[in-house]
Amino acid sequence: MSVPLKRAEIHITGIVQGVGFRPFVYRTATSLGLRGYILNLGDAGVRIVVEGREDRIHALLRTISQKPPSISKIDSVDVRWASPTGKFSEFVIRMSDAKRSRSAVPRIPPDISICDACIDDIRVPESRWHKYPFTSCAACGPRYSTITALPYDRPNTTMVDFPLCSECATEYNDPSNRRHHAQTTACPSCGPRYRLLNKYGKAMSTSNPIRTAAELIDRGAILAVQGIGGTHLVTKTSDATPIHELRIRKNRPTQPFAIMVRDIATLQQMATVHQEEVSLLEAWQKPIVLVSKRDVSGVIPIIPTESLQAISPYLDTIGVMLPYSGIHICLFDETDEPALVMTSANPSGLPMYVTPKEILMGLKGIADGFLVHNRRIAQRVDDSVVKFVEGRPQFIRRARGYVPDPIDVRGIDSKSVVLATGPERKATATVLTNRRAYLTQHIGNTDNIESAQFLEGALYHLARLVGIQDVDVVACDLHPEFLSTDIARNLAHQHGSELVGIQHHHAHLVSLLADSDLPVDTRIACITIDGYGYAPDGTGWGGEVLVGNASEYRNVGGLAGALLPGGDLSARYSARAAAGILGLDALQEHSGLFANAKLGPHTRANDETLSLLAESIRRRINTIESSSIGRLLDAVAFVMGVCSENSYEGECPMRLESIAVDNEVSIPTQYEKTLDGRTVLNTREFLLDVIRFLHEGVNKSHLAFGAQYALGKALTTIAMEAALDEGIAYLGLSGGAAINRIIARAVFETAQDGDVQVLLHRRIPPGDGGISLGQAVAAAARRQHTGRV
Cα–Cα distance between 454 and 446 in angstroms, integer?
A: 9
Cα–Cα distance between 572 and 56 in angstroms, integer?
A: 66
Supply the pTM of this predicted model: 0.94
Tens-digit pLDDT profile for residues 118-131: 999 999 999 999 99
Cα–Cα distance between 771 and 429 in angstroms, integer?
A: 8
Alpha carbons within 13 angstroms on the beta-carbon side of residue 153 total 17
Residues 6+ apart with CB under 8 A from 572: 645, 646
- Amino acid identity for residue 348 in this structure: S
Query: From the CB of residue 358, how many other CB atoms can be counted at a distance below 10 Å?
Result: 16
Q: Which residue from 521, 523, 530 is spatially nearest to 503, judged by alpha carbons? A: 530
Three-state secondary structure call for residue 97: strand
Can you give the pLDDT at residue 788? Answer: 56
DSSP-assigned states of every residue in 728-773: --EEEEESGGGG-HHHHHHHHHHHTTTT-EEE--SSS-SSGGGHHH
Cα–Cα distance between 462 and 430 in angstroms, integer?
A: 9
Helix %, strand %, coil % for the chain, to 5? 35, 25, 40
Crossing angle of helices 326-333 and 116-123, in 10° steps, is 40
Bridge partners of 184, per DSSP, are none
Cis peptide leading into residue 151 (ω within 30°): yes
Q: Are 465 and 150 in contact (CB under 8 A)?
A: yes
Query: Computed over its alpha carbons, how large is the radius of gyration of the chain?
Result: 28
Bridge partners of 258, per DSSP, are 319
Pairing of strands 392-397, 436-439: unpaired
Tens-digit pLDDT profile for residues 572-590: 999 999 999 999 988 889 9
Cis peptide leading into residue 404 (ω within 30°): yes
Cα–Cα distance between 440 and 462 in angstroms, integer?
A: 7
Three-state secondary structure call for residue 106: coil
Q: Which regions in the chain score pLDDT beneath 70?
A: 1-2, 100-104, 296-300, 787-789
Cα–Cα distance between 262 and 266 in angstroms, integer?
A: 6
Q: Which residue from 50, 54, 138 is spatially nearest to 92, judged by alpha carbons? A: 50
φ, ψ (nearest 5 deg) of residue 195: -140, 150
Cα–Cα distance between 607 and 733 in angstroms, integer?
A: 41
DSSP-assigned states of every residue in 692-711: HHHHTT--HHHHHHHHHHHH
Length of the chain: 789
Alpha carbons within 13 angstroms on the beta-carbon side of residue 442 total 29
Alpha carbons within 13 angstroms on the beta-carbon side of residue 284 total 18
Dihedral of alpha carbons 460, 428, 381, 572, sign: positive
Strands (E) located in 227-293: 231-236, 258-261, 271-272, 288-293
Cα–Cα distance between 702 and 665 in angstroms, integer?
A: 6
Q: Which residue from 669, 432, 443, 690 is spatially nearest to 557, judged by alpha carbons? A: 669
Strands (E) located in 612-695: 623-626, 671-673, 679-681
Cα–Cα distance between 777 and 38 in angstroms, integer?
A: 35
Alpha carbons within 13 angstroms on the beta-carbon side of residue 156 total 22
Cα–Cα distance between 548 and 576 in angstroms, integer?
A: 33
Tens-digit pLDDT profile for residues 362-417: 999 999 999 999 999 999 999 999 999 999 999 999 999 999 999 999 999 989 99
Cα–Cα distance between 513 and 522 in angstroms, integer?
A: 8
Bridge partners of 780, per DSSP, are none
> DSSP state, 353?
P
Cα–Cα distance between 219 and 224 in angstroms, integer?
A: 15
Crossing angle of helices 449-465 and 483-495, in 10° steps, is 40
- Amino acid identity for residue 171 in this structure: E
Q: Which residue from 151, 146, 784, 198 is spatially nearest to 520, judged by alpha carbons? A: 784
Bridge partners of 565, per DSSP, are 623
CA end-to-end span of the chain, whole Å?
64
Query: From the CB of residue 191, how many other CB atoms can be counted at a distance below 10 Å?
Result: 25
- Amino acid identity for residue 21 in this structure: F
Pairing of strands 231-236, 223-226: antiparallel
Tens-digit pLDDT profile for residues 732-779: 999 999 999 999 999 999 999 888 999 999 999 999 999 999 999 999
Residues 6+ apart with CB under 8 A from 357: none
Q: Are 135 and 114 in contact (CB under 8 A)?
A: yes
